[in-house]
Amino acid sequence: MKRLTLLLGALLLTAAALAQTAVPPTVRIAHGPYVLNVTEDGFTVVWDAKADAIGWVELAPMDGSHFYSAERPRYYDSHLGLCRVGRMHRVRIEGLQPGTTYRYRIMQRGIVLNEGNRRVILDDGDGSEVYRRKPYTIRTLDPAQEKVDFWMVNDIHARDSVFQLLIKEAPEAQPDFVCLNGDLASQTETEQTLWDACLGSASKILTPAGIPLAVTRGNHENRGAYAQHWLDYFPTPTGETYYTFRRGPAFFIVLDGCEDKPDNDPRYYGMGDWNEYRRQQAEWLKGVVNSDEFRAAPVRIVLMHMIPGKEDSWYGEQQIRRLFVPELAGKGIDLMLCGHYHRYHWIDDGSRGVDFPILVNSNNDCLRVSADAKGIDLKVVNTAGAVIKQHRIDKK
Ligand SMILES: [Fe+2]
């Protein structure tokens, strides 16, 4: 009898151990979040889970209450009414008040078991900290804001340590946003690439400080096995890599110069259709520069990774000059900000067919811009925090 009891006990313990190992661990947040597309009434939050999960954002006002004092409204990462199952999550929150700061946290529940219509089991969930740390905050746009301050870095090419040095003062300086102007990595091979390149650091340094991102696609973002997932990371109002946004007095046009060599270059393996994409953008640009929003803005700035070329430039730059420049010249653009050359250039000699200055930022400096209805101040700041170039554009 004693032997039987022992055997039964051992069997029960084994069964309990097996049951324990059968339950997978809670799916944790892998990277992020970071914030994009801040408007007067909303913003977009993006993060990455370690395994398949559904995700949502909870929102709370800045009313002095504890985040846990009430059930907070949820904004799901859903599409066509169904929560999206996956690792990358993006949630658009809308219907907010302008010029107002909100608190938020990201939440997710991992998929423990998915037997389709028969049974789906979610785990107990993971989320950003609101107990030991302050919840994240973000401020919606204030239409009365008369000045915009923003920073721009480009051509990081996965040198995350350089990126960290370039943006480390941002939480204290509080720019309205940080622009990543292309070539975050050299090729996007996996889901991890962009996080390792600089997005993980951008999330850690900028998000707790309430600073959103504005992102342009560089030519290198077209390369690699995971390149097709760009919009999973950087959703835009247009669903394309070209779009516009307003911040304070400035209207921004974000353009995608696409690749730098001809579409049939062997390096693109017959996968490129960038001539057509640039043509499509040029058509769209006609409408943008004739819009009331563009015309009414006191300041107009173009953000693009590549640069309108000279006669002897590479193919992509020549196409930008042929297709984009005619739509931009004579339309009242104040400034174009680019990267790509990995060296600083100030081009205001009309050599690129435009009637506005072009600042090409190097791959090792941060450009800090302040703009209002009177003009634009530009400072190029190196990794040591020293101002190495300065420009002033007075509005006529
Ligand atoms: Fe580059």
Give the CATH number of the domain where residue 87 resides: 2.60.40.10
Instruction: Give the domain extent around 319.
Output: 147-394
Residues 102 and 151 in one domain: no
Q: Which of 139, 158, 179 is the last residue of a domain?
A: 139
Where b means 16+ CB within 10 Å and e means fewer, 354-369 reads bebbbbbbbbbbbbbb
Residues 168 and 102 in one domain: no
Residues 288 and 210 in one domain: yes
Q: Is residue 16 part of a domain?
A: no
| Residue 385 CA to ligand 1 centre (angstroms) | 22
Residues 114 and 209 in one domain: no
| Residue 382 CA to ligand 1 centre (angstroms) | 17
Q: Which of 109, 139, 169 is the last residue of a domain?
A: 139
Q: Is residue 330 part of a domain?
A: yes
| Residue 341 CA to ligand 1 centre (angstroms) | 7
| Residue 55 CA to ligand 1 centre (angstroms) | 33
Please give the tally of structural domains in the chain: 2
Residue 254's region, left for phi above 0, alpha for psi from -120 to 50, else beta, is beta
**Each residue's pLDDT expressed in tens, for the chain with a length of 396 residues:** 566 666 666 656 665 555 555 778 999 999 999 999 999 999 999 999 999 999 999 999 999 999 999 999 999 999 999 999 999 999 999 999 999 999 999 999 999 999 999 999 999 999 999 988 899 999 999 999 999 999 999 999 999 999 999 999 999 999 999 999 999 999 999 999 999 999 999 999 999 999 999 999 999 999 999 999 999 999 999 999 999 999 999 999 999 999 999 999 999 999 999 999 999 999 999 999 999 999 999 999 999 999 999 989 999 999 999 999 999 999 999 999 999 999 999 999 989 999 999 999 999 999 999 999 999 999 999 999 999 999 999 997
Structure tokens at 357: 């200055």
| Residue 267 CA to ligand 1 centre (angstroms) | 16
Answer whether 220's CB lies under 8 Å from 118's CB: no
Q: Is residue 346 part of a domain?
A: yes
Residue listed under structure tokens 């304070």: 248
Pairing of strands 243-247, 213-216: unpaired
Residue listed under structure tokens 């091979």: 189
The string of DSSP letters for 251-281 reads EEEEE----SS-TT-GGGTT---HHHHHHHH
Residues 176 and 114 in one domain: no
What is the C-alpha separation between 185 and 246, in angstroms, rounded? 27
Q: Which of 112, 139, 166 is the last residue of a domain?
A: 139
The string of DSSP letters for 162-209 reads HHHHHHTTHHHH--SEEEEES-SSS---STTHHIIIIIHHHHHHHGGG
Work out the number of other CB atoms within 10 angstroms of the CB of residue 116: 6
| Residue 321 CA to ligand 1 centre (angstroms) | 19
E strand or H helix at 173:
helix 170-173
